[in-house]
Amino acid sequence: MAERSATYLDGKPYLSFNQNFMNMSRKLLLFVVIVTIVSSLIICSCKKANLNSTNTNPTEFDNCTFNGTTYVFTNNPLNDSLGYYDANFDTSLTISGFRQIGDTEIDVDFERAAIAVGSSQPLKYFGYSFNGVGNFLTPVGSFLIHITEYGAIGQHVAGNYSGLVTDGTHNYTASGSFRLIRAAAY
């Protein structure tokens, strides 16, 4: 069936329902593409403003050897993110390294009371997640986080640790070092 064409009195061509639908579909597709691009730019901008997420300074890291496997996290926003979590409602700090590819995360949670350069803070728990499967492990005996840097908010916090953790059935070795930006408590 051939499409009819007509002309309005003002000389502009008459568009059939199919032609109007196609024009609206193209406009909708263009709108969706623009919104997606703008949303991505906004999300990237928000991440760049967060000190915990995207500072690409190579002197910031969270290195961990867990049960014989070494994990190196940097603050490269394309692959990894580092976290420093200090909650006002809790008595501990958490240092976190996360890798998007492989969904790998290591968390070291330790007491913050009397934290200072040269202090040794007791481990509360060691958390891990590999491909979405993980656990929180508790220390076996004395497991201390040795603080080597503790700057003001916006400056570096650094330390190292080594010890045994358990899930109640098996013991695992965990050791590592970290250096990242100290964030304000929330």
Q: What is the pTM of this model?
A: 0.66
SS3 8: coil
Q: 63, 160 in Cβ contact below 8 A? A: no
Pair (60, 111) in one structural domain: yes
The dihedral through the CA atoms of 58, 62, 64, 70 has a sign that is negative
Q: Which range of residues forms the domain containing residue 32? A: 1-49
Return the pLDDT at 164. Answer: 96
Pair (42, 56) in one structural domain: no
Return the pLDDT at 122. Answer: 95
Q: Give 142-164 pLDDT, tens digit per residue.
A: 999 999 999 998 999 999 999 99
Pair (121, 138) in one structural domain: yes
Intervals of the chain under pLDDT 50: 40-56
Q: CA 161 to CA 15: how far, in whole Å?
A: 73
Helix and strand counts by DSSP (H, E) for the chain? 2, 10
